[in-house]
Chains A and B, each alone.
Chain A
């Protein structure tokens, strides 16, 4: 199957611009901040963890998942907690993935269900769906009130698998 990835290009360019602005130590702080805010969602900067200022404030998604506060050596944790799951269920980072305007939602908006399922699996789990996954996802999309809701349900479900959570 052929995925049309050309639609992603402008996003990559914009991300590069933001990255350049952020890493340019000569740029005034305010300017760097503004360019990062273009990738903002509900007060969160959407960028790689390594490009965000550290430590992030207590309660930030990354701190919830155990990011160090950098007060002591080896201050990070990898412990499972309920607030992590609540954030995966219903937090702004998950909502950012579900709403129009996110790269994934734009990619699949007008695709037939079969292709949309491939995009969702490759984006979130970095693999193609097997036959059972595919029929499950297709059923979820086709029985939903509308395509966007169906897509949202599948995206949400994949984000809330252990397969997504753990590096293999």
Chain B
């Protein structure tokens, strides 16, 4: 097992050189506050060693879910429901989650300026705006990098389409998420009965390696090296005793029913199995949420939110029953909200100005809301938090060094979470 390779650090970072220059010639200290924040942890409570993030891709309506505006015209046809925490009200589609609101922390004043899906999702997953110069790592890859995860299974899995995921960014390729495109099928190829017995695999790989030597000598290329790493990871994975973690068919019928026979529910169940098997991070993507048309028809929003309500509540219960919620943070996130005004097609359009997110489990408090939108759900009214702050909060809940500089191969410094400040009020 190789230890994670530290990123190369330039001999004297520009920022440090400037600071030293300022101290000696001007008698001032630059970035003192930042440096202090880097050493102090946000809070001293127990941290999450695993993070499950449920992505409501397309933009989840805040008004119909975690930030309803009962009695206002903007509320539309979605009814509201009281939760088991006095004063907190949800959209009625979340009845199961409403009964366990004492476990949830609702962030009601997330705000961004990005109203386009691709850019918004990238920002949400990395804490940084997309640029053409560098690809930023997503939170799961940061976790593996910062904690030095080792094991036969990869540390980070994605239930969804890897094409739309920033993956490991500029970090080591082996820190990228292992993608499972269909939770029902798992790592289908890894469990084929007509598979590869280890001796056959070894013999064939030995031939491949020797034939490939001249190619490697001619092309010492980073892209080629990336595939070498993936080959090593795949061989390790095939030799693992824990491959069954990817197979939700091994769960008892009753457990599968509890999560719901939906793609999202199955994704949640797979996430629990993977965290149980020791993975650090699992992203579960649901891309149903870009509801511009007829969203209040039974099969659109109500059906989709019911799947989330069932899947997420089952996940939290199941994690708690197995004692895993004490070390697992569950995040529900989206790239932006949906407009309070219902459009002429019976849907809601993109609304980046204010939207909601959810945290539950290890590292966070539960039973509270943080921030508020105005009375019509248009803009933040109190305690607005940026996407970088949100990412830094997740990083802090997982005990990651969110204020530390990590250097990309191009020498530029980046921080886990995008340089935001954690929302201390919600951290345990």
Which A residues contact B (CB, under 8 angstroms)? 58-59, 63-64, 66-69, 72, 75-87, 89-91, 95, 130, 132-133, 136-137, 140, 153-154, 156-158, 160-163, 165-166, 168
- Residues in A neighbouring B230, C-beta threshold 8 A: 80-82, 84-85
Which B residues contact A (CB, under 8 angstroms)? 118, 154, 161-164, 167, 173, 176, 178-182, 185, 187, 189-190, 192, 194-196, 200-201, 203-205, 207-208, 210-212, 214-216, 219, 223-224, 226-231, 233-234, 237-238
- Residues in A neighbouring B181, C-beta threshold 8 A: 58-59, 63-64, 83
Query: What are 28 pairs between A and B in contact, CB < 8 Å?
Result: A63-B181, A78-B223, A80-B223, A81-B178, A81-B230, A82-B154, A83-B178, A83-B189, A85-B231, A85-B233, A86-B190, A90-B192, A90-B195, A137-B207, A137-B211, A140-B203, A140-B207, A153-B203, A153-B204, A157-B205, A157-B208, A161-B212, A162-B212, A162-B219, A162-B227, A163-B215, A166-B223, A166-B224
Other-chain contact of B196, A75, A80, A89 (Cβ < 8 Å): A89
Other-chain contact of A156, B173, B190, B204, B223 (Cβ < 8 Å): B204
Instruction: Tell me the complex Cα distance, A68–B228, Å.
Output: 24
| Contact status of A162 and B228, CB under 8 A, knowing A79-B162, A89-B201, A136-B207 | yes
Structural contact, B204 and A80, CB atoms closer than 8 A: no
| Contact status of A77 and B162, CB under 8 A, knowing A86-B190, A154-B207 | yes
Structural contact, A95 and B194, CB atoms closer than 8 A: yes
- Residues in B neighbouring A69, C-beta threshold 8 A: 161, 163-164
B106 to chain A, nearest CB (A): 30
Other-chain contact of B210, A59, A66, A77, A136 (Cβ < 8 Å): A136
Structural contact, B163 and A163, CB atoms closer than 8 A: no
Instruction: Tell me the complex Cα distance, A89–B189, Å.
Output: 8
| Contact status of A68 and B163, CB under 8 A, knowing A80-B229, A86-B187 | yes
Q: Which of the listed residues B154, B200, B203, B204 has the most CB atoms from chain A within 10 Å of its own CB?
A: B204
Instruction: Tell me the complex Cα distance, A95–B182, Å.
Output: 21
Structural contact, B231 and A90, CB atoms closer than 8 A: no
Structural contact, A89 and B238, CB atoms closer than 8 A: yes
Other-chain contact of A82, B196, B216, B234 (Cβ < 8 Å): B234
Instruction: Tell me the complex Cα distance, A53–B178, Å.
Output: 26
B147 to chain A, nearest CB (A): 20
Structural contact, A165 and B185, CB atoms closer than 8 A: no
Structural contact, B215 and A80, CB atoms closer than 8 A: no
Structural contact, B211 and A90, CB atoms closer than 8 A: no
Structural contact, B208 and A160, CB atoms closer than 8 A: yes
Q: Which of the listed residues A89, A154, A156 has the most CB atoms from chain B within 10 Å of its own CB?
A: A89
| Contact status of A163 and B211, CB under 8 A, knowing A58-B161, A79-B162, A82-B154 | yes
Q: A85-B227, A137-B211, A162-B212 are in contact. List 16 more A-B contacts (CB 8 A).
A: A59-B185, A76-B163, A77-B162, A77-B163, A80-B173, A81-B178, A81-B179, A82-B178, A82-B234, A83-B178, A83-B187, A89-B238, A160-B205, A162-B228, A166-B223, A168-B219
Chain B at the A interface: SS class: helix
Instruction: Tell me the complex Cα distance, A161–B207, Å.
Output: 9
Instruction: Tell me the complex Cα distance, A91–B179, Å.
Output: 15
Which residue in chain A gives the minimum CB-CB distance to B208?
Answer: A157
- Residues in A neighbouring B194, C-beta threshold 8 A: 95
B99 to chain A, nearest CB (A): 34
| Contact status of A63 and B190, CB under 8 A, knowing A83-B179, A153-B204, A161-B211 | no
Structural contact, B227 and A133, CB atoms closer than 8 A: no
Structural contact, A79 and B167, CB atoms closer than 8 A: yes
- Residues in A neighbouring B163, C-beta threshold 8 A: 63, 66-69, 75-77
Q: Which of the listed residues A59, A79, A153, A165 has the most CB atoms from chain B within 10 Å of its own CB?
A: A79
A21 to chain B, nearest CB (A): 30
Instruction: Tell me the complex Cα distance, A158–B194, Å.
Output: 20
Instruction: Tell me the complex Cα distance, A168–B221, Å.
Output: 12
- Residues in B neighbouring A72, C-beta threshold 8 A: 118
| Contact status of A80 and B161, CB under 8 A, knowing A58-B181, A136-B207, A136-B211 | no
Which residue in chain A gives the minimum CB-CB distance to B191?
Answer: A90
Structural contact, A163 and B212, CB atoms closer than 8 A: yes
B211 to chain A, nearest CB (A): 5
Structural contact, A86 and B205, CB atoms closer than 8 A: no
Instruction: Tell me the complex Cα distance, A119–B192, Å.
Output: 29
Instruction: Tell me the complex Cα distance, A64–B210, Å.
Output: 26
Instruction: Tell me the complex Cα distance, A165–B227, Å.
Output: 9
- Residues in A neighbouring B189, C-beta threshold 8 A: 83, 86-87, 89-91
| Contact status of A157 and B204, CB under 8 A, knowing A76-B163, A90-B192, A162-B228 | yes
Instruction: Tell me the complex Cα distance, A152–B238, Å.
Output: 20
- Residues in B neighbouring A154, C-beta threshold 8 A: 207
- Residues in B neighbouring A76, C-beta threshold 8 A: 163
Structural contact, A80 and B179, CB atoms closer than 8 A: no
Structural contact, B187 and A161, CB atoms closer than 8 A: no
A78 to chain B, nearest CB (A): 7
A28 to chain B, nearest CB (A): 30
Structural contact, A80 and B226, CB atoms closer than 8 A: yes
Instruction: Tell me the complex Cα distance, A76–B162, Å.
Output: 10
Structural contact, A82 and B185, CB atoms closer than 8 A: no
Instruction: Tell me the complex Cα distance, A5–B383, Å.
Output: 74
A77 to chain B, nearest CB (A): 5
- Residues in B neighbouring A130, C-beta threshold 8 A: 214
